[in-house]
Copies of this chain bind each other. A is one copy, B any other.
C-alpha cells in the first residue's frame, strides 16, 4: 500500500522556510491517514467527523507538532 502512495512530497525534509516546513508537516500527517485509509470516498466521509470535533482537531494538532519537530530539526531550525 505504502508503495503506491507518495509519503513525503519532494522526498526531502529540507524546506526553504519554517512556513514551508510547517506545510510539509501537515502534508505528511495527511499522507499517513491516506496510506492507512487509501479510499478517498471514505476519507471524505470522515472529514466532517473530525472537522467538527474539538477533541479530534486537538489530536490532529498534536500530530502536526510531532511531524514538525522532526522537520525543524532536519532544517537546523532555519537559523
Chain A residues engaging chain B, CB cutoff 8 angstroms: 2-3, 6-8, 11-14, 17-19, 22-23, 26-29, 32-33, 35-37, 42, 46, 49-70, 72-74, 77-79
CB–CB B52/A42 < 8 A: yes
Q: Chain B's nearest CB lies how many Å from the CB of A8?
A: 5
Copies in the complex: 6
Chain B residue nearest to A77 in the complex (CB): B74
**If the complex has contacts A19-B7, A74-B77, are A51 and B42 also in contact, measured as CB distance less than 8 A?**
yes
Give 27 pairs: A residue, B residue, CB < 8 Å, sorted on A. Answer: A6-B19, A7-B23, A11-B18, A14-B77, A14-B79, A22-B28, A26-B32, A28-B65, A33-B60, A36-B51, A36-B60, A36-B61, A37-B51, A42-B51, A46-B54, A50-B55, A53-B54, A55-B55, A55-B56, A62-B63, A66-B66, A69-B70, A70-B77, A72-B73, A72-B74, A73-B73, A73-B77
